[in-house]
Amino acid sequence: MTVALQSRALTKRYGRRQALADCELSVPAGRIAGLVGPNGAGKTTLLHLAVGLLAPTSGTIEVLGESPASSPAQLARVGFVAQDTPAYARLSIADHLKLGARMNPGWDDQLARRRISDLHLDPRQKAGKLSGGQRAQLALTLGIAKRPEFLILDEPVASLDPLARREFLQGLMAAAVDQELTVLISSHLVADLERVCDYLIVLQDSRVQLAGDVDGLLSTHRLLSGPRCDTAQLPPAWQVISASHTDRQSTLLVRSSEPVSDASWSVAEISMEDLVLAYMSNATVAPSRDRTLEVQR
Amino acid sequence: MMWLTWRQFRAQAIVTAGGLVLVVVVLAVSGVQFADNFHATIAGCQVHGSCSQLAGGFLNALKGSGYGVIGQVAIALTYAVPGLMGVFWGAPLITREIETGTFRVAWTQSVMRSRWLAVKVGLIGLIALASAGLLSLMASWWMHPIYQASATAGGSDSAVSRLAPAVFGANGVVPIGYAAFGFALGLTIGVLVRHTVPAMAATLAVFAGIQFAWPRWIRPHLMTPLRSTTPLDVSKINQLMIDPSGHMYVTASVSKPGAWVLANQTIDPVGNPFTGPPTNACLNQGIQACNASVTRLHLRSVVTYQPGSRYWAFQGIETAIFLAVAIALVCFCLWWVGRRRLS
């Protein structure tokens, strides 16, 4: 199995502020990876490091086996849709496509034109006059028609209305399937990513709290409820992510690869959102040392 | 890459070209008339031996005339354009991309950012140099009759030296050096400051400061000035000052046609600067008696100057310095943008 993005002890500081700390991350190729975390968690920093807009303070990052932005060839293999989907306000859509064609050897002009006409956009329109959703689609078109192997998107739907959000994500998924893209997409809203991602990275307080295959994560995490217990006396194979107790009952989020056989616990499936929220709230209490989780390799 | 640079710069380039065409046409039409005017003025002067006088008259008539105004506007434009290019082309080149976030688009296409910057700087920089060069060529050509008249008029007070600070920087090749420097300075300040308006203001301030300081404190020393020592010519005294503390200062103009006079000092026969005491004649009698008494002091005028023959040497040295600094600044920007990762 090949790795699209690999970071080791990746750290970025702005002056004294730590934006990303000791990030150990491995994103497998061929996945749609969601990067989730609250605002200010370091998502943009991580993605900018991945496309070479930033250089690490320490540690290393490799994207498709090379240092980001180290050569035109490496740049050609990675597409990027930046936060707020910037575009040259005074250039038209057609100008942007020409820009893409002139600056990328692998540019797929047919694909770009088809996407623009499918979106019912007028190529003569200036990018400055587009709505947020249309501009996001233009940015996505630039990213896709470049024909990268790996497409990285920084909060592309954050400022869009629900309909534009859905259309954007549908377009992204269609392209990912057609072109066999690896995708890394960030959002501060789990709901945006729940439908599209099969790999999940949770970033909080500039640290990676959780990373792994979505199905694997969901099948190894269980929400247990049962009579009140002492968490110290639970089976050692259980890793308690969060626990809440009432006088008579305990509710636990437990990570365990083994099925729960103890009949005194009632077992419930967990949603991706619950999982993310549990890790996020857990983070401030006790950052898990077990951050890079090997899940179903 | 070239296409994107041109596409972004097109509107400004067209406006600039329009302005340049207008200036060139005005200077060309008026310049031909101006030259004809000069030749008509001195026509046949050799026969009467009145060339010097007629040329002096031509120069005197220039003050306040329409041609004088056009000449001053041409000089002002040639001085201003390199600074404006730094402020409006150099400074926003990077900052606009940073402020709108579009550098994240540009730098994540399949072009290295150092090449992206090199192409931008190369294309726009060359347009800046060419514009400044054209403007300077026109201004130099337009002002040629003035220098011809100045050479013919000899020691006339209205004679203009091409080395004089008022015109030196608006003629010849130095405006090309200034344009390169102004543009590179704006670019560098933009790269460091990263905000358009502060970068533009800082570029204007630094460029204007250098343009002010350079002819005063640096240009005179680019080559060792010449000195001439001549007896003080009392018929050409242009300053005679007696102050209450018992000092007297006197200077007389010394004719150095075409030269840039840096200093004119009066010394006594021993060689010390003359500071008095004032002669009785100057304190109590008329001008003629005073002049006669000054003659008896055997004062000498020491003039420090750059001869007019050094004009092209000065042009070359100064252009080379500004071009070299511009190249160094551009190299710094390429290195900075390539190494420092903005986000």
pLDDT, position B341: 56
Contact B105 A75 (CB under 8 A): no
A82 near B CB under 8 A: yes
Kindly tell me if the per-residue pLDDT of A150 is higher than 70.
Answer: yes
Which residue carries 């609250």 as its tokens? Answer: A38
Closest chain B CA to residue A72: B110
- The token duo for A291 is 């951050």
B40 & B62 share domain: yes
Q: Give CA B303 to chain center in angstroms.
A: 22
Which residue carries 């006396």 as its tokens? Answer: A233
Kindly tell me if the per-residue pLDDT of A232 is higher than 80.
Answer: no
B170 & B263 share domain: no
B38 & B11 share domain: yes
Residues in A 120-149 with any Cβ partner in B closer than 8 A: 139, 142, 146
Residue type at position A260? V
- The token duo for B323 is 């071009």
pLDDT, position B257: 85
Contact A95 B7 (CB under 8 A): yes
Mean of per-residue pLDDT scores for chain B = 92
Mean of per-residue pLDDT scores for chain A = 88
Total tally of structural domains belonging to chain B? 2
A98 near B CB under 8 A: yes
Phi-psi region of B161 (alpha: psi -120 to 50; beta: other; left: phi over 0): beta
Kindly tell me if the per-residue pLDDT of A216 is higher than 50.
Answer: yes
The whole-angstrom distance between B135's CA and the closest CA on chain A is 30
The mean pLDDT of B32-47, rounded to a whole number, is 90
The mean pLDDT of A112-118, rounded to a whole number, is 95
Helix (H) or strand (E) holding B228: strand B226-231
Q: What percent of chain B has pLDDT over 70?
A: 99
The mean pLDDT of A184-202, rounded to a whole number, is 89
| Cβ atoms within 10 Å, residue B179 | 32
- Among B93, B103, B104, the residue to mutate for chain A (most A Cβ within 10 A): B104
Contact A82 B105 (CB under 8 A): yes
Closest by Cα among B168, B162, B198, B189 to B330: B189
pLDDT, position B342: 54
Measured CA to CA, the distance from residue B338 to residue B326 in angstroms comes to 18
A99 near B CB under 8 A: yes
The per-residue pLDDT for range B109-123, each reduced to its tens digit, is 999 999 999 999 999
Kindly tell me if the per-residue pLDDT of A285 is higher than 60.
Answer: no
Name B34's Cβ contacts closer than 8 Å, sequence gap at least 6.
B67, B70, B142, B145
B159 & B134 share domain: yes
pLDDT, position A1: 63
Kindly tell me if the per-residue pLDDT of A288 is higher than 50.
Answer: no
Measured CA to CA, the distance from residue B196 to residue B188 in angstroms comes to 12
The mean pLDDT of B166-178, rounded to a whole number, is 96
Phi-psi region of A208 (alpha: psi -120 to 50; beta: other; left: phi over 0): beta
Measured CA to CA, the distance from residue B253 to residue B265 in angstroms comes to 10
A191 near B CB under 8 A: no
Enclosing domain of residue B261: 226-307
More confident of the two residues A264 and B262: B262
- The token duo for B118 is 């090199």
B269 & B129 share domain: no
B199 & B240 share domain: no
Contact A88 B105 (CB under 8 A): yes
Cα B264-B268-B274 angle, rounded to 5 deg? 60
The per-residue pLDDT for range B199-258, each reduced to its tens digit, is 999 999 999 999 999 999 999 999 999 999 999 888 888 888 888 888 889 898 888 888
- The token duo for A27 is 């994103």
ipTM for the complex shown? 0.88
Contact B110 A87 (CB under 8 A): no
Kindly tell me if the per-residue pLDDT of A294 is higher than 60.
Answer: no
Comparing CB atoms, the residue among A78, A82, A105 nearest residue B101 is A82
Torsion of CA B111, B115, B117, B122, to 10 degrees: -130
Contact B112 A69 (CB under 8 A): yes
B213 & B248 share domain: no
**Residues comprising chain B, all counted:** 343
3 state DSSP class of B231? strand
B158 & B16 share domain: yes
B21 & B126 share domain: yes
B235 & B266 share domain: yes
Kindly tell me if the per-residue pLDDT of A207 is higher than 90.
Answer: no
| Cβ atoms within 10 Å, residue B290 | 23
Closest by Cα among B127, B123, B157 to B261: B157
DSSP for chain A reads --EEEEEEEEEEEETTEEEEEEEEEEEETT-EEEEE--TTSSHHHHHHHHHTSS--SEEEEEETTB-TTSSHHHHHHEEEE-TT----TTSBHHHHHHHHHHH-TT--HHHHHHHHHHTT--TTSBGGGS-HHHHHHHHHHHHHHT--SEEEESSTTTTS-HHHHHHHHHHHHHHHHHHT-EEEEEES-HHHHHTT-SEEEEEETTEEEEEEEHHHHHHHEEEEEEE---GGGS-TT-EEEEEEE-SSEEEEEEE-SSPP--TTSEEE---HHHHHHHHHHHHHH---S--S-----
Kindly tell me if the per-residue pLDDT of B163 is higher than 90.
Answer: yes
Comparing CB atoms, the residue among B1, B4, B105 nearest residue A87 is B105
User: Where along chain A do its domains lie?
Assistant: 3-204, 215-285
Q: What is the largest CA-CA distance in chain B?
A: 87
Kindly tell me if the per-residue pLDDT of B148 is higher than 80.
Answer: yes
The per-residue pLDDT for range A50-108, each reduced to its tens digit, is 999 999 999 999 999 999 999 999 999 999 999 999 999 999 999 999 999 999 999 99
Contacts of A47 in chain B (CB under 8 A): none
3 state DSSP class of B159? coil
Pick the CATH number of A3-204 from 3.40.50.300, 3.40.50.620, 3.40.605.10, 3.90.1150.10: 3.40.50.300
Q: What percent of chain A has pLDDT over 90?
A: 60
- Residue A69's φ and ψ, nearest 5 degrees, are 55, 30
Contact B105 A86 (CB under 8 A): yes
The whole-angstrom distance between A226's CA and the closest CA on chain B is 50
Model confidence pTM above 0.80: yes
